[in-house]
Structure 1
């Protein structure tokens, strides 16, 4: 069974990264208010992350450095734990998404809403220091020897979030587990069939030589 090309996965995936969020305040000319910005890296390229384990085997994933070349970034939002009110958005220029050589970086302005200002204070105080991104995959490959998925192309980036507890999409992980188990079952079935065919050929050869 071909396992090197797992294409067109359309389920939404979440990945949590440990990269720290940084805060920055900017003075607004002629006003007492300040612009409240948070900055961080939402995606790291070519950096394997363990998705799950089966027995002693770790199954990992990495994002290819060219995965975002054709990605739809037209309307990405910034929020908290992938839910609740939108706190920043590319469409109104309060969120900047910057794809670089080593990953995807973001800058989000949070002073526009009460929830955003509260989240800014929590990030500044160190209570929240992790990021996650939610996306769909257009193309990926699987390295059987190293038990590694590589996301080759990201179809769309939906949101980047500040998160308190790392969490993967259980549905996505379960689907990947099932694909591994099904592929292994198929491979064992093919090996059994090949062994049976070899056995029959040997029996036939012995009969003909008698």
Structure 2
């Protein structure tokens, strides 16, 4: 999973504001901790603290994950040249500001207007997973907890947020299938562990029976 990039999107608070110098700014929250999402085969939760130590050195801001377009903003280690500032807190990742060049970029102007009007209310992000755990494997609908995000490469404002549904992109379907296979593997490992424990208990019971009854 470490080398695979996944996308998740959902409805959350995205706001269009003006800075002190009249700058057109968008703020929002691309990643939310402890929000359960149904991905069809299982629920998924990004655990609190999953972004600790994550690689946020170079993150682009796009619309609808359109990598063919010029990024509307970019965070480079949140340095002074960055047009987007990201931070992590108790609730996840916060997009403190995205400075949009509405004068020279028509896409930026259109996005600012759409967010201001409330026509776009979703955020999305592209990331890699470094660590995860499976819960409730004995149930028909277990939960995958993402405990460590490796890297965030891009955040987007999205027209159709889908984090809270089973609608996913074609690329996400591939990664979802990979996750399903991991789920089956985790279930098999758990079953083998249970069988081993049962065998040990059975052997112990036989030993106690023969010992008490003189062999």
Q: TM-score range by the shorter chain?
A: 0.7 to 0.9
Aligned residue among 14, 22, 42 for 2:30: 42
- Report what 1:96 is aligned to: 85
- Report what 1:178 is aligned to: 181
Map residues 125-140 of structure 1 onto 2, 5 A cutoff.
125-140=117-132
Aligned residue among 140, 151, 155 for 1:160: 155
Within the alignment, does 1:9 sit opposite 2:10 as a pair? no
Distance 2:88 2:43 in 1: 23
Normalised TM-score (structure 1): 0.76
Aligned residue among 24, 41, 50 for 1:67: 50
Q: Do the aligned partners of residues 178 and 116 (structure 1) sit closer, same or farther apart at CA in structure 2, a change above 3 Å counting? A: same
Greater share of strand = 1
The answer on whether the counterparts of 1:15 and 1:132 sit within 8 Å (CA) in structure 2 is: yes
Task: State the number of aligned residues.
Answer: 187
Distance 1:119 1:149 in 2: 33
- Helix, strand or coil at the partner of 1:85: coil
Q: Do the aligned partners of residues 193 and 80 (structure 1) sit closer, same or farther apart at CA in structure 2, a change above 3 Å counting? A: same
Structure 2: which 5+ residue stretches go unaligned?
Answer: 207-215
- Report what 1:51 is aligned to: 39
Normalised TM-score (structure 2): 0.74
